[in-house]
Amino acid sequence: MMNNYLRLGKQYLLILTGAFFYYPSIAQDTTVTTISADGPGDTYSLLESALGGSPLEVPDCDHTEVFKHIEELYDDELERNVFKFYIHKDIDTDRCETNVDRQRNEIKAYDPSPDYLKAIQREVVTYEWFFKIDEFFQPSTNFTHLFQLKAVGGNDAANPLLTITPRKGDPEQLQLIHGRGSNSYTTVTYTDLSLVKGRWVQAYCKVEYADNTGTLDVSLKLLDGTEVLSYTSNEIDMWRTGSSFVRPKWGIYRSLNDINSLRDEEVLFADFKVTEIGACPAWYEDADGDGMGDPNSFVYACERPDGYVQNNVDTCLDWFEDADGDGLGNPEVSQYGCAQPAGYVDNADDPDDTKNALVLNATIAPKPEVYPNPATNTIKILHMEGAENYRVLDMGGRVVRTGSGSEISIESLMPGVYFLHTEGRVFRFIKK
């Protein structure tokens, strides 16, 4: 049910003053996962085996008799087995009365699921599946989600990034809704629901996960190839600050606030397919051509951009003269170097280098820093008010730790170079 393969791009060779630097392209691990019905019986076990843990959110326990809300049946049109999701108007709730104003019958990827079903920042993931709603399907004026992409952890995790939702109206619509967080939603496109009622629809959704610079490509087609909905954006917010990963959800999740519009419903699904392409790494600017990258200037790319390298060990910078010895540099007198010259500092904050600010009892605000650095178990953010939410990224640009507070445990991290992002600042530190 799963296939792994590598995708290779170009290779680069850079020659610098007698030294050879070899830059291979990045081999991005690509994992393809398909979940298909194999016939009646053991449906729950099949889904649990594929998604990991207990990925079913079914209202079975709302029934006094044994009732399975997801089962398998043979579909003559597709000529294969499919999944049937069933929901009752007057019995079912959300996970057995966790919420009684809504009802849910869904499957999901979540924490116990395999990593290849959980999208992280900068990864590209494609979701493909088939679905069919009944020709007499009744949506409400509130939500009836058939598909969701939801972040786990971080800010606004409760608000989906993306949903596909039938909606009652004149005419009835099938809506594609983008969520920006803080309960802010936009219907980016829609189609007339009558075009898909009683018909199999092939769904395609491709996402590059990133803050504000993410990409999204969605297409819904009938079996004859007729496209009934499409949407593309190359600059869209597809991440939540501080999130650990994004997960897909399929099924029936609907509000009961307009219960008179609803009825018992069934929705058919077939062949869930998730294709995950590993995140492209960070490349660091090498402005001086010495083969060492600037840790504070980087881009994400799957092929090396000109003038960039994959390491971030360049400590060369502009140093500013500190003639009066007050720790503040003269912005008018500087020299570039990889080691701190005597009488120079790394800031240009002195408005008058002839007057010692310390002698004049001027208050010099300590420079925010991470301490200790290098560190083994714990780092602290010093001299920075309001340092709350943070993200820790490795050299490949992957988020490896999120949280809040000024003291951060790094004991579980592998030794290496990392970046701490907090309150608009980036600190480089080394885990020993």
pLDDT tens sequence across 368-405: 888 888 888 899 888 877 657 888 887 766 778 888 88
**Residue 131, pLDDT score:** 98
126 vs 427: which has the higher pLDDT: 126
Q: Backbone phi, then psi, for 387, in 5-degree steps? A: -75, 105
**Residue 315, pLDDT score:** 63
CB under 8 A, 24+ apart: contacts of 346-353 = 346/317, 346/319, 346/320, 347/320, 348/318, 348/320, 350/320, 350/322, 350/324, 350/326, 353/321, 353/322, 353/323, 353/324, 353/328, 353/329
Average pLDDT over residues 71-75: 98
pLDDT at 50 over 50: yes
**Residue 40, pLDDT score:** 94
**Residue 3, pLDDT score:** 39
Compute the distance between CA of residue 105 and CA of residue 145 in angstroms, rounded to an integer. Answer: 10
Q: What is the pLDDT of residues 33-42, one digit of tens each?
A: 999 999 999 9
Average pLDDT over residues 227-239: 96
Q: Which among 365, 346, 364 is positioned nearest to 355, based on CA atoms?
A: 364
Interacting residues of 317 by C-beta distance below 8 A, sequence separation 6+: 336, 337, 346
**Residue 357, pLDDT score:** 56
Q: What is the pLDDT of residues 134-176, one digit of tens each?
A: 999 999 999 999 999 999 987 777 789 999 999 999 999 999 9
Residue with tokens 């590209």: 124
**Residue 6, pLDDT score:** 28
Compute the distance between CA of residue 99 and CA of residue 399 in angstroms, rounded to an integer. Answer: 33
Compute the distance between CA of residue 415 and CA of residue 430 in angstroms, rounded to an integer. Answer: 7
What would the two tokens of residue 322 be?
A: 């500190």
Average pLDDT over residues 307-330: 80
196 vs 243: which has the higher pLDDT: 196
363 vs 225: which has the higher pLDDT: 225
**Residue 20, pLDDT score:** 33
400 vs 102: which has the higher pLDDT: 102
pLDDT at 7 over 80: no
**Residue 93, pLDDT score:** 92
pLDDT band of residue 129 (cuts 50, 70, 90) is very high
What would the two tokens of residue 404 be?
A: 């809040």
**Residue 23, pLDDT score:** 40
pLDDT band of residue 290 (cuts 50, 70, 90) is confident
pLDDT at 298 over 60: yes
**Residue 143, pLDDT score:** 93
Compute the distance between CA of residue 272 and CA of residue 34 in angstroms, rounded to an integer. Answer: 6
Compute the distance between CA of residue 103 and CA of residue 98 in angstroms, rounded to an integer. Answer: 9
78 vs 368: which has the higher pLDDT: 78
Compute the distance between CA of residue 211 and CA of residue 246 in angstroms, rounded to an integer. Answer: 13
Average pLDDT in the chain:
85
424 vs 111: which has the higher pLDDT: 111
